[in-house]
Amino acid sequence: MDTLIQITAGRGPAECNWVVAKVLKAFIAALKEHNGNHVVLQKQQAGITAVQSVILRISGKNLDTFLSEWIGTIQWIGKSPYRTYHKRKNWFIKLQEVPQLATTSFHEKDVKYQAMRSTGPGGQNVNKVNSAVRATHIPTGIQCVAMDSRSQHQNKKLALQRLKDQFQAHHLEQLKEQATATWEQHLNIERGNPIRVFEGSDFKHQKKNKSYASKRQSLKNDLKKKSWD
């Protein structure tokens, strides 16, 4: 199943927009290593090398496992790429899942066709034959007309393809409107307990020390000893 992901700088300064661009690149690279795919649905540039917000549609296997290491606050530790003498060295952005729209999927069985007379140049013969076709997607009401050919069959194929294109465009527009409507919810970035930390100009990922595994094993051993006492 596809998942929508947003990476945003919120109300952060220009440095945070720069971090979004860097995290976007790192995220896509990691997704490819996970054999996942992505499509950029919306990107708000904040300069040539900076992005304020981006929404991706990602797909692949075991996305829950992959995203568990990405969703949340992301921190970058480093000097500002824009302000040389700025004292701040900690910058925060957010990567989160965007709720999916309850949109109807496109099925050809939901398409209604209606033959109609062609209009336009061509003389009297054009209006004598119902060669044009109107295709209507019943669940959404989207309509497309094809009258390019004298063949009703060919026009039917053209109308169906145009209807599919219109449906996809309509769905994408809905996603963009949803992103705009929920923008305010993404502005506040939590600065504590980042899910990922990058550092330095080379944007190196700091791997967390998973000491909890050894601690858990130690606790299990203690319990076993107590059970024998």
Q: In CATH, which of 1.50.10.10, 3.40.50.300, 3.40.50.10110, 3.30.160.20 is domain 108-176?
A: 3.30.160.20
How would residue 50 be classed by pLDDT, with cut points 50, 70 and 90?
very high
| pLDDT at residue 15, rounded to an integer | 96
What pLDDT, on the 0 to 100 scale, is given for residue 41? Answer: 83
User: Where exactly does CATH 3.30.160.20 map onto the chain?
Assistant: 108-176
What pLDDT was estimated at residue 211? 47
What's the average model confidence in pLDDT over 72-96?
94
Give the model's pLDDT for residue 212. 43
Three-class HEC string of the chain: CCEEEEEECCCCCHHHHHHHHHHHHHHHHHHHHCCCEEEEEEEEECCCCCEEEEEEEEECCCHHHHHCCCCEEEEEECCCCCCCCCCCCEEEEEEEEECCCCCCCCCHHHEEEEEECCCCCCCHHHHHCCCEEEEEECCCCEEEEECCCCCHHHHHHHHHHHHHHHHHHHHHHHHHHHHHHCHHHHCCCCCCCCCEEEECCCCEEECCCCCHHHHHHHHHHHHHHHHHC
Share of the chain above pLDDT 90, in %: 52
Q: Where in the chain is the domain with CATH 3.30.70.1660?
A: 3-99+191-211
CATH number, domain 3-99+191-211: 3.30.70.1660
Residue 144: its pLDDT value, please? 93
pLDDT digits (tens, 9 = 90+) for 138-197: 988 999 999 998 899 999 999 999 999 998 888 777 776 766 665 555 556 677 789 999
Q: Structure pTM?
A: 0.62
